[in-house]
Amino acid sequence: MSEQTAILAAESDPSGSDHLARCLRGLGYEVRPASSSEAVLSALRERLFAKAVVAVELTGPGGGPLAAVVSRLPSVERLVVIGPGGDEAAERLARECGAQVYLARPVSAERLARALWPNPSGTYVPTGRRRQRI
């Protein structure tokens, strides 16, 4: 698992974690799924990740947002936070934590591709409904 293709996928719901992992694998990532704060912290101790997708509701040590902990890591170049749609407070919290992108659930592979561009597959640029080959 190289640092550039490894991605941390942290979703609080195990079924959501499975969906997220499938979407990311389809984009060429080597996914390290986690469904709890403890699992995320363990993964971060084991390896470096250049990109991470983290659920807004996960809390880190001391009760603060886990996304803030992840965003402070020097290896993380791109942080995407996912959460409920239409929740302005959650989106604001994600931005305050250092996220470059906030995605409302349900998350699709296409929306993840746009949020994480460039992706390891490098075969297309997501452009709405159509995929443009490069």
Q: Is the pLDDT of residue 52 over 90?
A: yes
Percentage of the chain exceeding pLDDT 70? 84
At 72, give phi and psi (nearest 5°).
Answer: -80, -10
- Write the DSSP assignment of 1-13 as a string of letters: --TTTEEEEE-SS
Quote the distance between the C-alpha of residue 41 and its chain's center: 15
User: What is this structure's pTM?
Assistant: 0.85
Is pLDDT larger for residue 47 or for residue 134?
47
Domains of the chain: 6-128 (3.40.50.2300)
Q: Are 67 and 35 in contact (CB under 8 A)?
A: no
Kind and range of the H or E run holding 103: strand 101-104
Query: pLDDT value at position 133?
Result: 35
Query: pLDDT value at position 129?
Result: 46
Average pLDDT over residues 40-62: 92
What tokens appear for 96 in the block? 């305050």
Q: Is the pLDDT of residue 73 over 90?
A: yes
Q: What is the pLDDT of residues 88-115, one digit of tens each?
A: 999 999 999 999 999 999 999 889 988 9
Query: pLDDT value at position 33?
Result: 94
